[in-house]
Amino acid sequence: MDFVKIHLILYTLIILFTSEITVAQPKNITDDYFEAAFSGNYVKAKQILINLNKNYPHSLKTCLITANYYGNIYEISGGNDKYYLICKKYAEKAINSLIKKKDLNNEDVFRIISAKSILLKINVQKKNYLKVAKNMQSVIRHFEYATKHENDDDKMKFISGMYNYYVETAKDDYPVIYPLLLFYPSGDKEKGLKLLKECTHSGDKNISIRSLLQLALIYYRDEKNIIVAEKYFNALLKIYPDNLVWQTEYYKALKKYNKIKEYKIRQDIIEQKIKENLLLTEEQKNYFIKKTEL
């Protein structure tokens, strides 16, 4: 599959959890972490992570959240490898613990895809395409599992929607990789969009937010429909206006379609939020400034 497409697939397939390897944890700890991460409050997210590692150092949830956190920090640091190495350590630990199970269930498959996706996304950013290709081969059977269980729950529906959409658009846009895609399960672009739209109404907030984001990206990058993309970006940023990753992505979309008035307004919003956010490190500020060419 084309690596740009892989990057889009991986952009939002990053971790929702409900159970652990060894010990019970407060049910709302995952919600608290993602609320902080979605809000752009990386300091609070890190404090939750510190508490997890202190109180539940050997749990699957701790491994997954640690991998998620450092995967995010790797991106907003501009690609600092020290964060990647921590992310890689914990993602692989989670994967290795899961693949030992004889009978994988939906939750296990979702977690495996989530953990692998964190590493795949970073390897795309690092242009380690050989690693991406090898890892995609190892995860494709789990995508296939999700397409067969899409009616079981919203997590499987989300993964199936992502797969159905991107495997077909990759075939159309990049014929050079068509022979590789022959070994993958067929998709259905329209079905993929339908499933993702259904997921925006999920009772699982993590799924609904990820679906809004993915549809925003799809409509501006693939469907080339900035009007619909704006609808999803606005819905997303109405809930999490301080998420600078999503704010800068919206800015890029508006600029791509030469919506001058709109992208200048968005640029001003981002500039103000960077100034107001005292929790950002200089490294992170520089990353967001560079993203928007302020």
Average pLDDT over residues 215-224: 95
Q: What is the pTM for the complete model shown? A: 0.86
Higher pLDDT, 183 or 146: 146
**Distance (Å, whole) CA 201 – CA 204:** 8
- Cβ atoms < 10 Å from Cβ of 107: 16
**Distance (Å, whole) CA 250 – CA 227:** 12
**Distance (Å, whole) CA 15 – CA 62:** 11
Average pLDDT over residues 22-37: 74
Average pLDDT over residues 3-19: 47
Kindly indicate the confidence band of residue 262, based on its pLDDT and cuts at 50, 70 and 90: very high
Residue 2 has pLDDT above 60, yes or no: no
**Mean pLDDT estimate for the chain:** 86
| The pLDDT value given to residue 191 | 96
Residue 133 has pLDDT above 90, yes or no: no
Question: Which of 11-15, 57-61, 158-162, 219-223 bottoms out in mean pLDDT, i.e. has the lowest?
Answer: 11-15
| The pLDDT value given to residue 141 | 87
Higher pLDDT, 17 or 284: 284
CB 30 within 8 A of CB 18: yes
Q: Which domains does the chain have, with CATH numbers?
A: 3-240 (1.25.40), 246-294 (no CATH)
Write the burial class of residue 134 (CB in 10 Å: 0-12 exposed, 13-18 middle, 19+ buried): exposed
Residue 125 has pLDDT above 60, yes or no: yes
The most confident of the ranges 54-63, 110-119, 238-247 is 238-247
H or E, element range at 283 = helix 282-292
